[in-house]
Amino acid sequence: MTVREVIGLDDHRLSRRAKKVESFDDDLKDLVNDLVDTMRISPGCVGLAANQIGDERSVFVIDVANARRLKTYSGLIVAVNPTILDLNGLLELREGCMSVPDFTGAVPRYQTLTLRASNEVGEEFVVATDGFEAQAIQHECDHLLGFTFLDRIAAPSKMFSRKRYLQ
């Protein structure tokens, strides 16, 4: 088990666009294991992108099993070189981030999506999902594009201190 440090907004690597994975090797499997271990040990975390632990590859993991707002659940998703194919039903949803631990905010996100990606051994898959799982996928895809939820907040008045939100 390797738990990695999650970088914050002050680290320039968080704002870089991820690089396409070319090699589906043991090093990639190690990265995926580190992402899963780090996500699972972090309270409230349902997803983590590689650049959040300082890696430049286009990889994220999500597992929304313990989320309250669950509609669809696809299990642990390991997405390498992900592409969102279809989006429908825009809503404004509240979210937070491991890299921005002190704030949450209302972000426009789509209710449903279709994702195409490869897993850690290079097998391509497509998943159609909705609800919180779709929101988490959009959040992690944004990370791989170099964005955080703060870049997507609907308006400054829609950003909240996490302390206030948790009270």
61-100 pLDDT, tens digit each: 999 987 776 678 889 999 999 999 999 999 999 999 999 9
- Whichever domain contains 89, its CATH number is 3.90.45.10
Average pLDDT over residues 33-45: 94
CA pair distance 51, 12, nearest whole angstrom = 10
Average pLDDT over residues 113-120: 98
> Looking at the predicted structure, is the pLDDT value of residue 55 above 60?
yes
Indicate the DSSP class of residue 19: B
| Residue 144 belongs to some domain of the structure | yes
Q: Output the average pLDDT for the chain.
A: 92
| Residue 153 belongs to some domain of the structure | yes
Residue numbers annotated as active site: 140
- Sign of the C-alpha dihedral computed for residues 130, 132, 137 and 142 taken in this order: positive
- The whole-model pTM stands at 0.92
Exposed/middle/buried for 52, CB within 10 Å: 0-12, 13-18, 19+?
A: buried
Q: Quickly count: other Cβ atoms within 10 Å of residue 128's Cβ.
A: 13
Alpha carbon distance, N-terminus to C-terminus of the chain: 33
| Residue 116 belongs to some domain of the structure | yes
> Looking at the predicted structure, is the pLDDT value of residue 165 above 70?
no
What would the DSSP string read from start to end of 48-99? Answer: EEGGGGT--BSEEEE--TT-SS-S----SEEEEEEEEEEEEEEEEEEEEETT
Distance of CA 50 to the CA centre of its chain: 9
pLDDT by residue (tens digit) across 3-36? 999 999 999 999 999 999 999 999 999 999 999 9
> Looking at the predicted structure, is the pLDDT value of residue 154 above 80?
no
| Residue 57 belongs to some domain of the structure | yes
> Looking at the predicted structure, is the pLDDT value of residue 155 above 90?
no
Closest CA to 166 of 102, 98, 93, 107: 102
How many separate domains does the chain show? 1
| Residue 4 belongs to some domain of the structure | no
| Residue 1 belongs to some domain of the structure | no
| Residue 93 belongs to some domain of the structure | yes
| Residue 101 belongs to some domain of the structure | yes
Domain range for 88 is 12-166
> Looking at the predicted structure, is the pLDDT value of residue 127 above 60?
yes
